[in-house]
Amino acid sequence: MKRRITITDYLLILYMLMVIIITLFPFLNIVAKSFNDPIDTVKGGIYIIPRVFTIKNYTGLFENGSNLFPAFRMSILRTITGTLTGLLCCAMFAFTLSRPDFMFRKIFTALLVITMYIGGGMIPEYILIRNLGLINNFWVYIIPGLINAFNVIIICAYMETIPVSLQESAKIDGANDLSIFFRIIFPLCKPVLATIALFIAVGQWNSWFDTYLYARSVKALSTLQFELMKILDSAQSISSSVDVYSETLRSAKRSPEALKMAITVIATVPILAVYPFLQKYFVSGITLGAVKE
């Protein structure tokens, strides 16, 4: 016997449709404006469908920014390397703090939490980076972000839910700490590690200010976000000195608004493609495995 659809079901469906529309509309609006003629976009009235379709906003970016493709490769390399190394270091640190037999557990936890509230500031950080020889070096993207206090605490809290008897059983069988971490703890922490990996990847992909501070003099180290920021800044500088309806911008067929939308799409789509591969781990918060009594 089929269940009858009630008024409550219709209200829930209507509510979910409204949530979907509210969530998707801003992004669809950005995509529509990025494919619309820049001069026509200034008139307004663009919602989710381009009124005058064009790809000049994208071709203009790559024509004016010849370093975008190398910067794109650098961003991918930085994101992959930073995510893998950062996740491994945070997970190993969290594993140490989650061990009840670690003598200095409380001290290191307190020192870790302090870093979340107290920082040296930009100038001391720059001096430290310079003294470490990381200026104009690829590892300036990786080493400073290897340990994140928030990520360590989240992973540590998840590891503490894993029964200690699993580790004790492995020790009886002759496993050392590294074997316990990589063969038992690491596989059981897939959900939280996938979530933290996504956090780190998004942070690495979107970061551009460290490029501006530490690596802007080396063209090979320029990232996609930094190059897009320079293009957008250049377009905004032009618009501040020249009216958007002037013949100069009409002949160029560009506007800061159109460039901004195209830049947003280029910067968002690659990292957005990662979500489907990690989504399945977000709903799996149960410890994989159990202890038989």
- pLDDT, tens digit, 9 for 90 and up, residues 191-236: 889 889 988 998 999 888 999 999 888 888 988 888 888 877 776 6
Q: Does residue 175 carry a pLDDT above 90? A: no
Cα–Cα distance between 29 and 64 in angstroms, integer? 25
The alpha helices in the chain, defined as continuous H runs, are: 7-34, 38-41, 56-64, 68-98, 105-114, 122-131, 149-159, 164-172, 177-180, 186-188, 190-206, 209-214, 224-241, 247-252, 256-272, 275-282
Domain definitions of the chain by residue range: 56-282
Rounded to two decimals, the pTM is: 0.78
The CATH superfamily of 56-282 is MetI-like (1.10.3720.10)
Measuring CA to CA, which residue among 270, 204, 195, 253 is closest to residue 58? Answer: 253
Model confidence pLDDT, tens digit, residues 4-55: 778 888 899 899 999 988 888 888 888 888 888 887 777 778 888 888 888 8
pLDDT at site 116: 87
Model confidence pLDDT, tens digit, residues 152-168: 999 998 888 888 888 88
